[in-house]
Structure 1
Amino acid sequence: MGTPSSSPGFAAAAAGGGRAVETRLIDGAAQAVAWDLRSGHRRVVTRRPHGVHLSEIEPDGSHIWWFDGGDADYGQWRRSPFHGGDPRPGLLGVPLGKPRGVGFDREGALAAVCVGTAHRSRCFVGSPGGTGREVHAAEGHRWLADVSPDGTVLALAGAPDGPDAVVLCDVRTGATTTLAGSRERRLWALEFDPDGTAGMEGAVPQLLLMVERDAAFTVATWSPGGPVRCRDHLTFPSTASAGWYPGGRRLLIQHESAGRSRLLIADLDRDADGGVDGGAGGRELPLPEGTVHDVSCAPDGSIHCIWSSASSAAVPLVIDPDGNIARAPAEGGQSQRSATRDVWTAADYGDIHSFLTSPSGDPPWPAVFLVHGGPATHDRDGVDPRVEALSQAGYAVVRTNYRGSTGYGPAWQHGFGRRVGLAQIEDLAAVRAQLVDQGLVAGDRVAVFGYSWGGYLALLAMGVQPELWSAGVAVYPIGDYVRCFAETTPALREVDVAMFGGTPQQLPDRYAAASPATYAAHVRGPLLLIGATGDERCPAGQLESYIGALRRHAVPHQTVWRAGGHAGPHLDEQSRIMSLALGFLGASASGVTVGSPKGGAA
């Protein structure tokens, strides 16, 4: 029944044992699916045309919650009976908004949701299916990380380096306790110990945290009245996350390093196994080399994950409590894919890591730099249909984890001196130079292609380094950074303020230097720009401003607009975008090369 795109969410209470919810691709769109583990029967819960990407199951397994947000991801949580029936609002009286988390107490007697409305985050609690009561509201972006098992406290996550990095809200009184972050100590709220208050009336369990400090990531805990306690034996040199493992004070940890994933079972209180790579304590699970896209624990201790590599399609893996891969279903699996290798490029500030996927035939190949967005994410040793489509069309595909990417440590992620955009395209240029010098890539046929912040970097590279790039494709990009700051969401403005060190009014020169619009006159083209009329993240107005600059300077370009929000979730739409890009790249290779004169606007 469709391909799973997320690991299951399990009903945690004893009464709900044997039930779970999954997200699976049904007819090209993600939908919520009810799974009876005892019988193996699955039932499609939703049939939304734009798909459903967020779903949870109540602890007793009686109902499944899913976010009905449409293409713009703006709507409400709905609640459907596990065995079928009409959906109803999860909580009555909650305004429509952006989804910012949902959670339940241990038994499922209390539900909590957080929604984003205008410039605020608002939290509501109530009996599932009953009327919600607002218990907390704040300006800006907050995310509901978890509900304490006894249902008395909500853990909310804010900006990890901000004064409200973690907020604990008492649902009875609305009183809050705040844990502050800073640039020297970033904090992420993860989840409460699900067993920490069993039989302890009025007690609040430990909250699990991740702390970024001293150029590393460390597991930590917090209890009321005490400080944040770092567990130094659980320290990792690059991005990591953690969750409680069933039974006892153990954790399941996912560690990301150089585009690949590790899973470990670790003891919270002691380094039981004497440490593993990098001094981080725990027992590493026997995971094939590649990427874990999502992971969860069943009540029996089995670990379920969605895994892939560059040479293997995404498959669900199940690891039993003894650490053996107990089941790797046949859906997906190994397939004939283009060869991918690691490329490391030396630089004064550290080595730049890229994945190079080569087409058939002998080098030098025409190449496409497929640039990831974020920037706080990274390209992985994992399946990506765009890579395969480009390589099958004859292009070498380069995916570079430039400065600002996660997975290489805090210094790599944050240490680019406020040179937003410029530092990143310098990394792309350095990798390009190495591949051209090595005879792997044809220097006169190298295009740059990105989505969202990756599309922004593509436009910036085309203007700042016009001699290097033969064509550019930018999907849902930032074209005018100053105008985008004014028009985008409050959460993304917070990200920009953190990256730049202030607002465009405070730092106009910094924002101008980072804006593709500043360099529009230098673009040699050609460019393909794909925008969305309802995009809140990279709004249409700022992209139209950039396109106007291209027209004024007679830069050859094509523009395609689609209805809807920032990212179309349906596979058919993603395929259409790739078809447009492939057609454009093929035409530009035969008609326009690096250094050719500007033509008329398309």
Structure 2
Amino acid sequence: MTTQHPAAQVPDKLFTDPVAEERWRARFKAPRVSVPDWALDAPDASLYVSNASGVWEVYAWDRAADTHRQVTDRPNGTLHATTSPDGRWIWWFDDTDGDEFGSWVREPYAGSGAAAKALADVPDGYPAGLEIGHRLVAVGVSTDDGSALYAHRDGETVRFYTSEDDAGVSALSRDERLLAISHSEHGDSRHPAVRVLASDGFTTVADKWDGEGKGLSALAFSPKHGDTRLLLLHERHGREELLIWDVEAGTEHEIDLGLPGEVVGDWYPDASALLIVHFHEGRSSLHRYDLASGELTAVETPPGRIGGAGVRPDGTVEYSWSSAAEPPVVRVRATDGSDTVLLEPPGEKAPGSEPVTDAFVDGPGGRIHALVSRPSAGEGPQPTVFLLHGGPHAADEDRFSAYRAVWLDAGFAVVEVNYRGSTGYGSAWRDAIEGRPGLTELEDVAAVHDWAVRSGLSDPAKCVVTGASWGGYLTLLALGTQPGRWAAGVAGVPVADYVAAYEDEMEQLRAFDRALFGGSPTDVPAVYDECSPITYIENVDVPVLVLAGDNDPRCPIRQIENYLDRLAAREVPYEFYRYDAGHGSLVIAETIKQVAIEVDFARRALNLT
């Protein structure tokens, strides 16, 4: 770092009212759990992740004994884990300080031994898929050289696929004869193709690619032995839908559910049906699709977000649900229709928050969907924070967010925009940012901002733009390309200097950027220049807060320092918070600290303190 940047102020507290102060912190501290996963042939051996220790870590749940054990205990937390199909082993991904670069390790499920590198002959790298069978393990690794896929069987490890392009391991058939991989040999990692290989020699059994701009994603093979049906996501009709491909028979079954929006799915254990998670306009729902009759049956849940779901061998459905007003809970729906709480970690539950409402705004590329939350007190135009989601291929939802809730507690209205580039609104909407990323999304944000002011929701002099990752990138780009619209900006782990970011980021993201921008910075330098926040830094004239992790492989620290060095030469108030982790933090205390910094900064910038 060539310049000493002003450090962000860390407030002792956000609210003078002790009840309000305790409430916002309690939402972050409240113990939460994910939907459990389980071993394919030993379903009593389950895993989930939880923040119960104060850090997101992996836990084992022996259902037969009803015992829970914390598996991992690392300073920066652990999120990625699975079991071997026999339930004997836990595999989890071991990186360094959140940098996402490392290897899979394994330890006995019973906890009777230490974790050790699972496949000694596989080099370290960024994870690119893992499939574990009884006899075969397939694992993908991404490095600066591209993608390499490995298989381990009978004590021997072989590298069966390499490519300069992005690729990964996707699915293993139940009898372990067939292995599906994802690849982008056609040059577009955002719209991958699928290849199925024979595991006895890794020769190609079948290839499937739907053509330019139409991605395919292999979800899972049928859970029945000898069944060569593979469930995929396709977008042949302009949105993500389900397809069953019988690889050996060479037949397809496109599943038309007649639902608006988009879907994802998984098999029922007997392969007679699919469990469908349906997303439409910020909310998701569950359904059962019978493959023989074509009947679609709703698994009734209140409006909100399904955070994960799976079907147990007895046909019960386990799922996570939340809404903007109600904290998440993991529930189980029995075959008789009864619905009860499945997992409830010890400790105080998170306080609730305010609901969201929908806004539909005409924009330059079509109708824009936004979610709007209003503070419980206050009338007339409000100070407003525009929370821009990351991704960009993601979406804001009617889900519980402690982060949204603290802004509401602080007296801000909150607007979340599912701009072009967001998922769930069709392929054309998602791909509309190609060739002009960042600037396209901000046209939609501007249209929603205009609506918010025109409708009387927002005080035009007190609008803050904020986001993390891609949302942080959009924040910095907005400050430079939309001067006069924003009173302050808060950018978490952003792309700030796109050319330098491309040079330093993980190869999987370089492949993504090439597909999104139309090439590398060498191929299309004008596009990177036009869409990079640092290009417009001379226009930034409002207070800026930037937060960044030292070990971030997605939005690396050097390119953020480049931006801040340029910002330092201008008479613009700004602050910088730098922390020892990667692309965000899994440590709850660190999250609380960063949130306090952000809200306090915005209040000071708007003279609301």
Using structure 1 for the length normalisation, give the TM-score: 0.89
**Matches of 1:342 and 1:393, distance apart in 2:** 22
Kept in 2, the 8 Å contact 1:484–1:542? The answer is yes
Equivalent pairs counted in the alignment come to 572
Structure 2 partner of 1:135: 160
**Matches of 1:125 and 1:241, distance apart in 2:** 28
1:56 to 82, 86, 89: 82
Structure 2 partner of 1:217: 240
Distance 1:508-1:227 versus aligned 2 partners, 3 A rule: farther
Structure 1 partner of 2:333: 319
Structure 1 partner of 2:426: 409
**Matches of 2:431 and 2:163, distance apart in 1:** 27
| 1:430 aligned onto 2:453 | no
Structure 2 partner of 1:299: 313
Kept in 2, the 8 Å contact 1:217–1:235? The answer is no
Q: How much does 1:441 deviate? A: 1.2
Please identify, of 146-155 and 420-429, the stretch whose mean Cα deviation from structure 2 is larger.
146-155
Distance 1:2-1:557 versus aligned 2 partners, 3 A rule: closer
User: Could you say what secondary structure the match of 1:351 adopts?
Assistant: strand
Please identify, of 468-477 and 241-250, the stretch whose mean Cα deviation from structure 2 is larger.
241-250
1:402-428 Cα deviation digits (max 9, x unpaired): 111001122221234633111211111
Kept in 2, the 8 Å contact 1:184–1:213? The answer is no
Distance 1:426-1:147 versus aligned 2 partners, 3 A rule: same
Kept in 2, the 8 Å contact 1:471–1:585? The answer is yes
Q: Which amino acid in 2 is paired with 1:459?
A: L
Q: How much does 1:367 deviate? A: 0.9
1:552-571 Cα deviation digits (max 9, x unpaired): 33333222222232222211
Superposed, 1:22-61 pairs within 5 Å as 22-61=48-87
Distance 1:184-1:588 versus aligned 2 partners, 3 A rule: closer
1:150 to 175, 179, 184: 175
2:513 to 483, 489, 496: 496
Using structure 2 for the length normalisation, give the TM-score: 0.88
Q: How much does 1:582 deviate? A: 1.5
Superposed, 1:479-490 pairs within 5 Å as 479-490=496-507
| 1:8 aligned onto 2:25 | no
Q: Which amino acid in 1 is paired with 2:335?
A: P
The structure showing larger relative contact order (alpha-carbon pairs under 8 Å, at least 6 residues apart) is 2
| 1:354 aligned onto 2:370 | yes
Superposed, 1:93-172 pairs within 5 Å as 93-105=121-133, 108-126=134-152, 132-159=157-184, 165-172=193-200
Distance 1:591-1:291 versus aligned 2 partners, 3 A rule: closer
Q: How much does 1:464 deviate? A: 0.8
Distance 1:385-1:471 versus aligned 2 partners, 3 A rule: same
Structure 2 partner of 1:309: 323
Name structure 1 gaps, 5 residues minimum: 198-203, 274-281, 593-602
Q: How much does 1:125 deviate? A: 2.9
**Matches of 2:512 and 2:151, distance apart in 1:** 29
1:73 to 100, 115, 137: 100
1:82-109 Cα deviation digits (max 9, x unpaired): 222222332332222222222223xx23
Superposed, 1:172-251 pairs within 5 Å as 172-176=200-204, 177-197=206-226, 205-224=228-247, 227=250, 229-234=252-257, 236-251=259-274
Q: How much does 1:58 deviate? A: 1.7
Q: Which amino acid in 2 is paired with 1:506?
A: D
1:168-199 Cα deviation digits (max 9, x unpaired): 233321323432243343211111111051xx
Q: Which amino acid in 1 is paired with 2:374?
A: S
Q: Which amino acid in 1 is paired with 2:545?
A: L
**Matches of 1:558 and 1:6, distance apart in 2:** 35
User: Could you say what secondary structure the match of 2:159 adopts?
Assistant: strand
Please identify, of 501-510 and 237-246, the stretch whose mean Cα deviation from structure 2 is larger.
501-510
Q: How much does 1:524 deviate? A: 0.8
Over 6 Å off, 4+ runs: none
Q: Which amino acid in 1 is paired with 2:471?
A: G
Q: How much does 1:270 deviate? A: 4.5
Structure 2 partner of 1:386: 403
Name structure 2 gaps, 5 residues minimum: 1-28
1:155-178 Cα deviation digits (max 9, x unpaired): 122359558621223332132343
Q: Which amino acid in 2 is paired with 1:241?
A: V
Q: Which amino acid in 2 is paired with 1:385?
A: A
Q: How much does 1:4 deviate? A: 4.3
Kept in 1, the 8 Å contact 2:327–2:352? The answer is no
Kept in 1, the 8 Å contact 2:274–2:289? The answer is yes
| 1:541 aligned onto 2:558 | yes
Kept in 2, the 8 Å contact 1:368–1:446? The answer is yes
Q: Which amino acid in 2 is paired with 1:209?
A: L
Q: How much does 1:307 deviate? A: 1.4
Structure 1 partner of 2:353: 337
Q: How much does 1:343 deviate? A: 1.7
User: Could you say what secondary structure the match of 2:216 adopts?
Assistant: strand
**Matches of 1:335 and 1:582, distance apart in 2:** 19
**Matches of 1:133 and 1:293, distance apart in 2:** 36
**Matches of 2:239 and 2:121, distance apart in 1:** 43
Q: How much does 1:252 deviate? A: 1.0
Q: Which amino acid in 2 is paired with 1:93?
A: D
Root mean square deviation of aligned Cα: 2.5
Distance 1:212-1:435 versus aligned 2 partners, 3 A rule: same
**Matches of 1:189 and 1:38, distance apart in 2:** 32
Q: Which amino acid in 1 is paired with 2:360?
A: W
Q: How much does 1:116 deviate? A: 2.2
Identity of aligned residues (%): 32
Structure 2 partner of 1:254: 277
1:460-496 Cα deviation digits (max 9, x unpaired): 1111111010000111111112222232222212222
Superposed, 1:449-528 pairs within 5 Å as 449-528=466-545
User: Could you say what secondary structure the match of 1:509 adopts?
Assistant: helix
Q: Which amino acid in 2 is paired with 1:451?
A: A
Please identify, of 451-460 and 218-227, the stretch whose mean Cα deviation from structure 2 is larger.
218-227
1:19 to 35, 41, 45: 45
Structure 2 partner of 1:398: 415
**Matches of 1:362 and 1:489, distance apart in 2:** 47
User: Could you say what secondary structure the match of 2:176 adopts?
Assistant: coil
Q: How much does 1:591 deviate? A: 9.2
**Matches of 1:226 and 1:498, distance apart in 2:** 33
Structure 1 partner of 2:11: none
Structure 2 partner of 1:279: none
Please identify, of 152-161 and 431-440, the stretch whose mean Cα deviation from structure 2 is larger.
152-161
1:268-292 Cα deviation digits (max 9, x unpaired): 3542x3xxxxxxxx11110111111
Q: How much does 1:330 deviate? A: 5.5
Kept in 2, the 8 Å contact 1:147–1:155? The answer is yes
User: Could you say what secondary structure the match of 1:313 adopts?
Assistant: coil
| 1:283 aligned onto 2:297 | yes
1:278-328 Cα deviation digits (max 9, x unpaired): xxxx11110111111122222222111121110111110112234542446
Q: How much does 1:398 deviate? A: 1.1
